[in-house]
Chains A and B, each alone.
Chain A
C-alpha cells in the first residue's frame, strides 16, 4: 500500500479504472450483468478502504481480484445477491497483498469503448442507457446516480438491472464492433452523453452542489470517448459543444438562481479556458472534412462565445450555420433556432414567418419553446400585447420552474411597461 490519497484523488483514480477492470472481468467470466455488479461491489469496497489505508500498488489488479472473487462466490452460490452488497466492505479487508494480484495482462485498452457502446445499446430507453453508462463506464455508485435523478436508490438499482437484462436478451457479444457497426451506433452513444450533459447543465446551482455534477461527468466521459476515437470529428464536436456551453454556466443564473438569457449575461464570468479548449477542438475537428450536427452546434456556440458583448455577435455567421444544421439534421428545434437567427439578421417579421411552419407540426405546435420564441420576436416587432400573451402561454406549458419564472417575469415586465407608458 502507498500513502493514503485524499478522498477526491482516490475517487478520481477509481472512476478511471472502473471500466478497465470491468472489461477484464467480463472477458474472464463472459457475463456482463454479473460482472458489472461484481465490479460495483469492488468499487464500493475501494471507496471505503483506499482513502483510509492507501491505494494498492496495482489498483486495477486489486479491483479485478476483488470483483473476480465476487464472481466466483456467485458461481458457487455461496452468498445470496443481497447479502453480498452488505458483506463486501467487510470481506474487502481480507484481500491478498498486491504482490499476489495478477498484473492484468488480459486487459484491453478498448474495453472502455466496448462498454460505452454496450451501455448505449439501442434496445434501451434513454433513461436506462444513461443510468447504466454512468455506473459501468463512469464508475458511479447506484446511490449517486439515484440522487442525481431524484429517485429512490432501489428504483435506480432496478432500472440498471433491467437495462442489463435487456442487453443480455439482445445477445450482443462483448467484443469490439466492426467499423461499420461502430459508425452506425455512434450517434446513439453521443446522444446519451449529450443527454447526461444536458441534465447537469440544466440543473440549478443548488442542485449541483447537493447532487453529482452530471455536466462535469459527461465532459469526463466524452473526453474519454475522444481519446479512444481520436479520428472521429463528431466525438470531438460533441466535446467542443459541451465545453463551449459549460463555459457560460456561471453567468446563466443570477443570485436567486433566476435564469439569465444569453444577451443579458455578464460575459466576464464566462470560462476562458473552456472556450479556448472548445474552440481548439472544434477547429481541429472541422479540418477533418465531415461536418456533423455536433460540430455545427459547437460552431454556433463558439460564435456566441467569441462576442465580447451581445451586440458584437456575428448573427449572419450564426444564420449560415443554422441553415447548414437544418440541412444536416432537420427537425423542429433546428427550425426554431434558425427562425431566431433569421430575425436577428433580417428582422423579426421574417423570423415570425418561419415560425408558422411549426404551427402545423403535431406535438411541437404546443411546445413551450415555440411560444417563448414567438413572444420574443413579437416583442422585437413592438407588439407587446401579443408578446405578453405568448410569454404567458409558454409559461403555462413549460415543465421547468426556472423557465416558468423567467417567462412570467417577461409577461409581467411587458404589462407594467404598458401601464407605465399610459
Chain B
C-alpha cells in the first residue's frame, strides 16, 4: 500500500526557518536525509521531494481562451505544502509510524518540531473483481 505523507507549513514558518542557526539547519537536513536512506534500506521508499518556498508560487486557472491566468498566491492561505514523502508499506499503521518519525525532525536547539504530517493513501490503477 502506498501512502503520501505531506508536511504543511504555516506561511509564517518559512521566515521562521530562515532564522535557524546553521547548526540547526544542518541537523534538520541530515535527519531527513538519514530518514530517507533508512526507508530505502527497509524497502519502503518510493519518492520524496521538497518544494520551493511559496514566495514565487502562483495560482493558475484557465481563461476563456484557455490561456493561463496567473495570480499571486492567496494571502488568505494559511498553510503551504513544504514537501512530501511517498512510501510503500505493509499497513496504515506503519505509514503513521513513519509520519511520526518525520514529525519529530529536529528544529531550533535540536528539539523536535512536531509538525503535523498529513497522511493519505495513494489510489491504485488496479481493481479487484466487482460483484
Contacts and interface: CB of A to CB of B under 8 A. Distances in A.
A149 interface: yes
A376 B131 contact: yes
B40 A154 contact: yes
Contacts of A47: none
B41 interface: yes
B88 A204 contact: no
Nearest to A406: B130
Contacts of A156: 43
A155 B123 contact: no
Interface string A372-385: 11001000000000
Contact of A401 (B47, B124, B128, B129): B124
A94 B131 CA distance: 57
Interface in B2-56: 2, 40-47
A213 interface: no
A interface majority secondary structure: helix
B41 A158 contact: yes
Contact of A155 (B45, B121, B126, B130): B45
Interface string A157-199: 0111010000000000000000000000000000000000011
A372 B44 CA distance: 31
Nearest to A127: B90
Contact of B130 (A152, A207, A372): A372
B75 interface: no
B88 A202 contact: no
B33 to A, nearest CB: 15
Contacts of B121: 399
Contact of B126 (A151, A199, A262, A340): A199
B1 interface: yes
Interface in A214-249: 245
A150 B1 CA distance: 11
Interface string B92-128: 0000000000000000000000000000011111111
Contacts of B2: 150
Contacts of A155: 40, 43-46, 88
A287 interface: no
The bracket for how many chain B residues form the interface is 20 to 34
Interface string A334-364: 0000001000000000000000000000000
Contact of A400 (B42, B46, B47, B127): B127
Contact of B123 (A154, A160, A401): A401
A262 B126 CA distance: 17
Contacts of A403: 127-128, 130
A322 to B, nearest CB: 14
A404 interface: yes
Given A125-B90, A155-B40, A159-B43, A402 B125 contact: yes
Instruction: Kindly name the residue among B43, B90, B125 whose own CB sees the greatest number of chain A CB atoms within 10 A.
Output: B43
B46 A152 contact: yes
22 contacts: A125-B90, A155-B88, A156-B43, A158-B41, A162-B41, A162-B42, A202-B126, A203-B125, A203-B126, A207-B126, A252-B129, A259-B127, A261-B130, A261-B131, A262-B130, A262-B131, A340-B131, A398-B123, A400-B128, A401-B123, A402-B126, A402-B127
Interface of B: 1-2, 40-47, 88, 90, 121-131
Interface of A: 125-128, 131, 149-152, 154-156, 158-160, 162, 198-199, 202-204, 206-207, 245, 252, 259, 261-263, 340, 369, 372-373, 376, 398-404, 406
8 nearest interchain CB pairs? A159-B43, A202-B126, A402-B127, A158-B43, A400-B127, A203-B126, A261-B130, A403-B127
